[in-house]
């Protein structure tokens, strides 16, 4: 049997079970008030003929009804994304929540929202707090790291404005987490960046996402165009993190965390890694065996399998013509998800840490493996990270098996590192 034809018992079990999937909805498309250098979504406007329109109220209602109806589970989580979703205004989200209540049909509705943080005021804080939004705020680290790439359309820095929003969130009781892009400037500064988020931002939930992109220069555009690595003339973007740098970054953060913060600070990568060691679902699509369960719904109703594959060749359909339930059940969507595992090189499937890594995100598969299949360009760094954390993950798994807190790894780590 060829690798591409693999269909496992777990795949069949999932297909036969209740329908449960996420959507990342982009009601303003790629429209944004910032011009972040490494943003892979700003260029999507070109795909839709330039300036994008926002999602109409009629389409918003159609999406909300279809999404709630399609999920055969008790809790349905909406993830509002962009671009910058706050450009739609508060009234848009009030209408959205009224529609959620209208179509909930006894299901629990939860809302998450990702923002660059520059448009938040106290009215937004009141809306988020009163309606239990979990807000992700984009912040890359200390000022010189953040302001190097996250700038306004006029090239102005944004760090101070984002930090004002963080203070507002804390003061007004908004639950938030931080999402940080790990780029070339982050290399060698993992511990410093982690301490910044822990001590200054006081973030208790952190995500660190590696930036690895390819670009070309296009006449008439003031910024490089992000393209696939196969694009003629494509080069690795100067902000991209190296494999070795990413691995060291994760290890340095882990060493800070495991010595004092387990159970108090939650880092998505570490939570997902522990889940893999314990044999439960990681909750992060990049570390799942297969993917395709986090659909993207664009401002015009177009649906894609993944936020990183919003290209015409990956279009699954449009909710005006085909319901979200039908799109999710489609063979095209399922094949996309299975390819995460089935398109991996044999060397990945034989790797000691495949159970934890799962090939990471397909968007980073730029290198060619020994059998001609694509291999993750961050492999070296990921291997270093999994090897580094292995003894601590095994210890925390043992604690959990005994119904004890994983935080008991702290004295174990201190002793192992010679600090006791």
d(CA 233, CA 43): 18
Residue 78, CA distances (Å) to 46, 96, 156, 295, 328 in order: 26, 10, 32, 11, 16
d(CA 387, CA 158): 37
Cα Dmax for the chain: 64
Residue 371 annotated among the catalytic residues of the structure:
no
In the DSSP assignment, the letter for residue 309 is G
Contact present, 38 and 213 (Cβ < 8 Å): yes
Contact present, 84 and 31 (Cβ < 8 Å): yes
> In this structure, which long-range contacts are made by residues 192-197, counting pairs with CB atoms below 8 Å and at least 24 apart in sequence?
192/141, 192/142, 193/141, 193/142, 193/145, 193/249, 193/253, 194/252, 194/253, 194/256, 194/257, 195/256, 196/141, 196/142, 197/139, 197/141
Backbone angles phi, psi at 206, to 5 degrees: -125, 140
Which residue is catalytic, options 11, 126, 271, 307? 307
d(CA 303, CA 220): 30
Question: What amino acid positions are annotated as catalytic residues?
Answer: 307
């Amino acid at each position: 049997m060829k690798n591409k034809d693999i269909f496992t018992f777990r795949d069949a079990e999932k297909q036969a079970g209740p329908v449960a999937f996420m959507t990342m909805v982009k009601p303003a498309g790629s429209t944004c008030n910032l011009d972040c250098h490494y943003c892979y979504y700003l260029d999507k406007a070109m795909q839709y003929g330039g300036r994008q329109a926002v999602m109409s109220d009629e389409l918003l209602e159609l999406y909300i009804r279809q999404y709630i109806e399609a999920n055969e589970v008790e809790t349905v989580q909406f993830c509002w994304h962009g671009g910058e979703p706050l450009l739609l205004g508060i009234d848009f989200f009030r209408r959205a929540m009224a529609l959620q209540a209208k179509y909930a049909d006894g299901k629990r509705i939860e809302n998450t929202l990702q923002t660059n943080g520059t448009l938040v005021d106290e009215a937004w804080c009141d809306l988020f707090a009163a309606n239990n939004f979990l807000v992700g705020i984009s912040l890359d680290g200390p000022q010189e790291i953040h302001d190097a790439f996250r700038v306004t359309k006029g090239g102005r820095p944004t760090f101070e404005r984002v930090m004002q929003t963080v203070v507002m969130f804390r003061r007004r009781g908004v639950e938030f987490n931080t999402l940080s892009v790990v780029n070339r400037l982050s290399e060698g500064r993992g511990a410093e960046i982690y301490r910044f988020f822990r001590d200054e931002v006081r973030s208790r939930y952190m995500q660190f996402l590696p930036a690895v992109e390819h670009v070309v220069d296009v006449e008439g555009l003031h910024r490089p165009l992000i393209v696939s690595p196969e694009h003629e003339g494509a080069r690795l973007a100067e902000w991209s993190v190296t494999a070795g740098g990413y691995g060291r970054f994760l290890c340095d953060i882990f060493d800070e965390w495991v010595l004092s913060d387990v159970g108090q600070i939650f880092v998505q990568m570490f939570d997902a890694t522990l889940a893999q060691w314990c044999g439960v679902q990681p909750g992060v699509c990049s570390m799942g065996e297969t993917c395709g369960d986090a659909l993207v719904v664009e401002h015009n109703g177009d649906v894609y399998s993944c936020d990183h594959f919003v290209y015409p060749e990956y279009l699954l359909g449009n909710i005006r013509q085909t319901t979200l339930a039908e799109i999710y059940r489609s063979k095209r969507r399922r094949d996309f998800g299975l390819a995460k595992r089935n398109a991996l090189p044999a060397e990945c499937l034989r790797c000691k840490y495949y159970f934890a890594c799962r090939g990471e995100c397909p968007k980073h598969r730029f290198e060619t493996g020994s059998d001609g299949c694509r291999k993750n360009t961050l492999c070296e760094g990921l291997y270093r990270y999994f090897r580094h954390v292995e003894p601590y993950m095994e210890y925390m798994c043992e604690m959990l098996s005994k119904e004890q807190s994983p935080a008991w790894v702290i004295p174990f780590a201190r002793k192992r590192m010679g600090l006791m």
